[in-house]
A and B are shown apart, each in its own frame.
Chain A
């Protein structure tokens, strides 16, 4: 029997607001436990929530970015359940009337484009954290995170492979960072992915997401082929084993007793607010990809890579414009620069080589001053902070040899010193020619223009 994989994802995006969704406490990560929890966050008797307008604006921005319907009137509900890190005994969320519905997001897997539908995105508050280690049979409660604004983004079950799921999660991750509503930090839990139906928890990296889905696909197919049935359940991904294990089945699921929160009025979005947010939106990744293909002639794949973040895209555009060589700029950004950044674990924003410097480097390749190989040496100089492109070329003597007299002297010397190779070449051994080119390049300390060397050698050996 042939099985079809059907995947939908729920993504919790922590919104990059200064303060919490219903109180004035800071949302900064990493503070000492319970130092960023106010009377409202710890749910003292009598306290009341007040909605953070900034969080609503983040949701509007997201809705506009995925071409969704923004519900002009949306409502906060209470989701009731008991847990020690849920101070009120209910979470304020949106059930029946979420702020965002019916959006779409384009993904590309192996150059095939696909549109994933976004069912809804709703605002809610995060809970605190329960810490079970270090407390010897007790549980520590840290309420710093309680009340942090989240946007829960729910997709339709439109994905058919783990690769598509990862592509969707990546595209979403790029988008929420792009429009400035989330810092995208998965380790700190700013961006959390869960599956639906078989709800898989604890997927805090794209690699875990892929591993967990692949495991579930295999496990579900095996179970079904063995005559078993798939129970609707919440499972936990264990990164150490690469397997998922049962947390709770649907039968044990809570009755959350949702009802509209009487402490909060329905949220009304007026058109002028929406239009102001729309006007302030940056050019979105999809539009920019199309423009890069059209204006700079880069491939669809390259355009996707180059719009991996706003900073990367801006870097590429600056380098492309400075050099006037967009394709070369694209190759350098995705090749040498990305490799160096990855190796050094640096973000593009922290790149030691500026876009202007990379552009200037590309200009020197284009005008023949540098060969590709020399250019890499200059790039290393730039990376080390040795100065500007031309100064490095000058200081390190990396200029490609343009004086044909100087080169001719080197060629003559090499031919004289390598009579054996000359004879072999004349006897029909093409390989010997390459050896001679190598010798010339070596003698010129790499500064010779390889094309010129070829030309000269051929002329001398005729």
Chain B
């Protein structure tokens, strides 16, 4: 059962072969057994989960069930969930019980998908290893001495360890795709504006986007159908006709032009990863895809641009955590300024502080033009590169990350090395394009390797089509970590 696809689980629920309550209980038991090792969940609340599962069963009896009603999923602890502790991986919100549901959560609830709990993450989604969480590092199920990636590390690890059929994640610079690559699962970041950000605790508003993380492209397509949709509460939400993201899964790939950016296969890329990606390109060629050489020249500037813009927005977004209305507040302080200083010094971890400092600096009087404005201009150039590239190809393909999962603690003292993990994923965020990662092999240590696809705006269906066709002829996505029973 833990290997079942979402559509298989849905079919069994529809056939009344199993109830949502039974499903939820089975997954809860597995979470109970594995979470002490993996640390993928911050909050598990069996009563709430089973109540939601019972509600899903009631929907089925009442005849109001949708296609996925009753399939349990795990939610990243960045989404506000009414009545649930919502920490964003931070001491700052260690006591924050959200009084409302994020739009994404509302959509899952309306579709009748019970929540298995809240998954661990880098603090305020700032990190690529899940080591910055106030709730401790998440372990990679393929090797518990290694990181699962981040910031959606708990979500990735729980899907890889089969502690949940699927999970939600968010991606600001690669936070869905990089952990998906490190844990051998499939994850998708939609076009910016497709999934509402309402109730998703903001890191960098112009880059943040939620998406599904699951075992396959097909599962991701089904979950994307649930997650997307216009939300009047988010001004950046796009008012578009509802799509069925599964519609093109079975289309043949003959004639699909796959762009290979030279810059993504250059120095810095691990040889094993490069070889796995080359093999995947070979598989796609066999399916009729046509490789096209393209260039994304300005993407080499993506990391510096990102580390100006994302901290700038974050420094402002995180100002609300001041100890006045909710969350952590220092117990002893001399005056108002001291209360702010102590609260924030105690409540935020080192990486969050680093980014607030960078962001505050680049927005300061006298530096704004040199950093923020300049970075916005380069952001435009990066997006223009993609626009140009999509004239020559239908889809862009490359490695998700330069290497495979590293050891816990290995680079946690070297922020720049850590930031380089997102070298290939950040350009899609800066351009607002959809991207996904799917497994395409293993390195010598048996660690998963991720293949990244980047689609044109709103071209999720085509991206999912290519990924699904690839997964029909390969079995990387069905591999699971051994030693976890």
Q: Which residues of A contact B363 (CB under 8 A)?
A: 80, 257-259
Write the A89-100 contact mask toward B (1 if CB under 8 angstroms, else 0).
Answer: 110000000000
* A87 interface neighbour in B100, B232, B320, Cβ under 8 Å: B320
Shortest beta-carbon distance, B13 to chain A, in Å? 30
Check if A264 is an interface residue, CB within 8 A of chain B. Answer: yes
Q: Is the CB of A46 within 8 A of B364?
A: no
Bound Cα distance A338, B425 (Å): 72
Partner pick for A45 among B205, B313, B320, B365, CB 8 A cutoff: B320
Instruction: Flag if B96 contacts A50 (CB, 8 Å).
Output: no
Q: Known: A39-B100, A45-B86, A255-B364. Contact between A263 and B236, CB under 8 A? A: yes
Q: Which residues of B contact A80 (CB under 8 A)?
A: 315-316, 319, 363
- A104, B97: Cα distance in complex, Å: 51
- A43-B320, A82-B322, A257-B360 in contact; A49/B235 too (CB < 8 A)? yes
B201 at the interface (CB under 8 A from A): yes
Q: Check A262/B365 contact, CB under 8 A, given A44-B80, A45-B320, A50-B232.
A: no
**Taking the complex as formed, is B234 at the interface, i.e. its CB lies under 8 A from any CB of chain A?**
yes
CA–CA, A265 and B88, complex, Å: 26
Beta-carbon contacts under 8 Å, B55-107 to A = 79-80, 86, 88, 93, 96, 98-100, 102
Partner of A78, one of B86, B98, B316: B316
Q: Which chain B residues border A43 with CB–CB below 8 Å?
A: 320, 325
CA distance A139 to B336 in the complex (A): 10
- CB nearest to B366 among chain A residues: A255
- CB within 8 A of A89: which of B199, B233, B319, B336? B319
Question: A415 contacts which chain B residues (CB < 8 A)?
Answer: none
A139 to B197, CA, bound (A): 33
Closest chain B residue, CB of each to CB of A253? B365
Q: Complex Cα distance A90/B312, Å?
A: 13
Contact among B202, B204, B236, B324 with A46 in the assembled complex (CB-CB below 8 Å)? B202
Q: How large is the interface on B (under 10, 10 to 19, 20 to 34, 35 or more residues)?
A: 35 or more
Q: Which residues of B contact A263 (CB under 8 A)?
A: 202, 205, 235-236
Selected contact of B102 from candidates A46, A139, A141, A258, CB within 8 Å: A46
Q: Is A48 an interface residue (CB 8 A)?
A: yes
Residues of B241-256 at the interface with A, using a CB-CB cut-off of 8 Å, are none
A322-350 contacts to B, CB under 8 A, are: none
CA distance A80 to B312 in the complex (A): 11
**Closest CB-CB distance, A266 to chain B, in whole Å?**
11
**In the bound complex, do residue B100 and residue A265 qualify as a contact, i.e. CB atoms below 8 Å apart?**
no
Partner of B80, one of A45, A255, A258: A45
Find the residue from A44, A45, A141 having the highest chain B CB count within 10 A.
Answer: A45
- A259 in contact with B340 (CB, 8 Å): no
**Alpha-carbon distance A42/B96, docked complex (angstroms):** 14
Q: Does B442 contact A (CB under 8 A)?
A: no
A interface size (C-beta, 8 A): 29
Q: Is the interface of A mostly helix, strand, loop or mixed?
A: loop
| A417: Cβ under 8 A from any B Cβ | no
Can you list, as one digit per residue, whether each of A42-60 has a CB less than 8 Å from chain B (1) or not (0)?
1111111111000000000
Given the interface pairs A45-B201, A80-B363, A259-B372, the reply to whether A50 lies near B235 with Cβ below 8 Å is yes
A84 within 8 A of B: yes
A116 CB, nearest partner CB in chain B, Å: 30
Inter-chain contacts of A264 with B (CB < 8 A): 235
Q: Tell me if B326 counts as interface (CB < 8 A to partner A).
A: yes
Would A89 and B325 be within 8 Å (CB), given that A46-B102, A259-B368, A259-B372 are in contact?
Answer: no
Q: Which of A228-248 contact B (CB under 8 A)?
A: none
Given A259-B312, A262-B206, A263-B236, the answer on whether A48 and B325 have CB atoms closer than 8 Å is: no
Whether A88 is near chain B, meaning CB under 8 Å from some CB there, is yes
A47 CB to closest chain B CB (Å) equals 7
Does B31 belong to the interface (CB within 8 Å)? no
Cα distance A364–B365 in the bound complex, in angstroms? 71
Distance A88 CA – B324 CA, assembled complex (angstroms): 11
Nearest 4 A-B pairs (CB), nearest first? Answer: A89-B319, A257-B363, A262-B206, A262-B205
Additional 15 contacts, C-beta under 8 A, given A47-B198, A262-B313: A39-B100, A44-B326, A45-B86, A45-B96, A46-B80, A46-B199, A50-B235, A51-B235, A80-B316, A80-B319, A80-B363, A87-B324, A257-B315, A259-B368, A262-B204
Write 23 A-B pairs (CB below 8 A) sorted by A numbering: A42-B325, A43-B320, A44-B98, A44-B99, A45-B202, A45-B320, A46-B79, A46-B98, A46-B102, A46-B197, A46-B199, A50-B233, A50-B234, A50-B235, A51-B235, A80-B316, A82-B340, A90-B319, A257-B360, A257-B363, A262-B204, A263-B202, A263-B236
